[in-house]
């Protein structure tokens, strides 16, 4: 139990410390960085397609991203638990 709490505290610290070390820094995503790099390499580049739907705000986009991650994590956790239970059963 102590080991689990220690590991959880380390994970929380690793997530929070950069926010205090880099005050005022922008933590942008890889998509924006890739777009800027492609623009520097080839000024005439045009994307292959446009998005079918653009979320109305950045908050909704973040919400959808987090929801997608939560569903994926839930599925992976369920699958691992199912397989572990199946292995213990047999």
Q: Which residue has the tokens 């994970």?
A: 11
Instruction: With a cut of 80, say whether residue 68 has pLDDT above it.
Output: yes
Distance between alpha carbon 23 and the CA centroid of its chain, in Å? 21
| Mean per-residue pLDDT over the chain, rounded | 88
Distance CA 34, CA 25 (A): 18
pLDDT reported for residue 27:
67
User: What tens digit of pLDDT does each residue of 12-38 get?
Assistant: 999 888 878 877 777 677 877 888 899
Most confident of the following: 6-20, 27-41, 45-59, 64-78? 64-78
For the cut 90, the answer to whether the pLDDT of residue 8 exceeds it is yes
- Cα torsion angle, 45, 51, 56, 58, sign: negative
């Amino acid at each position: 139990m102590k080991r689990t709490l220690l590991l959880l505290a380390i994970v929380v610290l690793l997530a929070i410390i950069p926010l205090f070390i880099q005050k005022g820094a922008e933590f942008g995503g890889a998509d924006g960085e890739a777009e800027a790099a492609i623009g520097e390499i080839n000024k005439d580049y045009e994307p292959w397609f446009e998005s079918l739907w653009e979320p109305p705000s950045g908050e909704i986009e973040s919400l959808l991203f987090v929801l997608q991650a939560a569903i994926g994590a839930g599925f992976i956790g369920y699958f691992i638990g199912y397989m572990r239970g199946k292995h213990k059963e047999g």
